[in-house]
Each structure stands twice: as structure tokens, then as C-alpha cells.
Amino acid sequence: MTKYLLFFCFIFLFFTNTSAQIITEEKWYEGKIFFKDSSIVLTLLNYDFNSQILRIKSNGQLRTFNPFQILGFEFLDSELDTLRTFSVFSYPKTPNYPVDMIFEVLEKGKFSLLSQDVLVADYNDPSPMFNNSPGMGGNMIEDRQITYRYLRTHFVYEEKKKKFTRLSKPKKYFSNLSSQFPTLKKFMKENKLKPARERDMKRILKWMNG
């Protein structure tokens, strides 16, 4: 019985440590922070998408900033090989209560494409294993696997109207702009653009901003 208890402890600790390692994994990047007093700081930074907390390492010390303290920041993402830019916008969580929030800026202009990422966990349950060893009574052992991914939400910010639109239905949003941009549908059709695809969203908005 003792050896079976040790086996279960090992399995539990393995999955616990694996998930903890993924959650607490810290990636630091060389970047710039833009402050409200117009100052710019070059530093190593780390951004937590879920909490919207920005951390920096300066002179051996760790400092944290929230959206109310900065204008934005940028860093070179070595994995994606691209410069990523983030800005603070006053977002109306409720009609009469705007809150400063950080958005990634994917396309900037009269119509800006913004996004927010949230880290989510996926629990995968493969077919269970049955242990029919003597004394175990055919207990089921769940071989549960946990994977993590970023879930992205897109927004369009209209600078003139100071208006945010969450792109839950991108096709409908761009269709509603046909009166404002009469040749938009033709442009999308000729270039075989799909409004739900991020790279096509960027191209459509770049055309609208031109």
C-alpha cells in the first residue's frame, strides 16, 4: 500500500509543479516605458496580461506600475521578432465609469485596432487509466493534462468619436461601415480579406485610415 501512496504523491506533485512552472514563468524584455510627465525610461520589463501590471528591474530593484501611472510601453518580442506597442486608454466598462486600461496597439490611426490578451487554462481529459492491481479495487486514475494559451479580444477605437467597439462580430462591424466607406466591400472582396482574421483586420483598417 505504501508504494501506491508514493506513486499517487509523485503524480500529484508532477502536475502541480509543471503547472506552477508555466504560470510563474517570467519573460523579461528590453523596452521603453512612457510616463505621464513625458519622461521615457529604457529598462528590462515584464507585463502581466491578466492583472495589467507592468514590472521593471532598475538598479537591482523591482518596481511595479499600473495603468493609472503610465501612458504606455513598448518592447521587442524576440519570439515573434516584432516590436509590440501598448497604450493606456480610458475604457468605459460601464457607460458612466471609464477606467484606464492597457491595450496592445496593432494598427494606429483614425480607426485603431487594439487587443487584449488573457492567459487561460485548458483542462484536457484523455481516456482514463484503470488500475486493477490487487487491493486497489479498479480505481480510476485521471491522466489530466493542463495547457495554457492566450485568449485575444479585438477592439476598434474611433479617435474622432472616442468610441470603442468590441469585435465580437467583425464581419457585421465592417459591413455597417459601408455607408461611410462605399468601396470597402469591393476592397475586401478583391483582396480576399476575412474580417475575423487579425492580419486582414489590420489591412482593412490601414486602408480605412489611408
pLDDT at residue 10, as a whole number = 41
Per the CB < 8 A criterion, the answer to whether 113 and 125 are in contact is: no
pLDDT at residue 63, as a whole number = 94
Q: How many CA atoms lie within 13 A of 83 on its CB side?
A: 6
pLDDT in tens, the chain (210 residues): 544 444 444 444 433 333 333 334 578 999 999 999 999 999 999 999 999 999 998 888 899 999 999 999 999 998 889 999 999 999 998 888 999 999 999 999 999 999 999 988 888 766 555 555 445 444 544 566 888 888 999 999 999 999 999 999 999 999 999 889 999 999 999 999 999 999 999 999 999 999
3-class DSSP state for residue 122?
Answer: strand
Output the CA–CA distances (angstroms, integers) from residue 180 to 45, 159, 174, in the order listed.
41, 15, 10
pLDDT at residue 38, as a whole number = 95
Domain boundaries, the chain: 2-166, 169-210
pLDDT at residue 143, as a whole number = 62
pLDDT at residue 18, as a whole number = 35
Residue 75 burial (C-beta neighbours within 10 Å; 0-12, 13-18, 19+): buried
C-alpha cell at 114: 487594439
In this structure, the chain runs to a length of 210
pLDDT at residue 20, as a whole number = 34
pTM of the entire predicted model? 0.77
Based on C-alpha coordinates, what's the Rg of the chain? 23
pLDDT at residue 17, as a whole number = 38
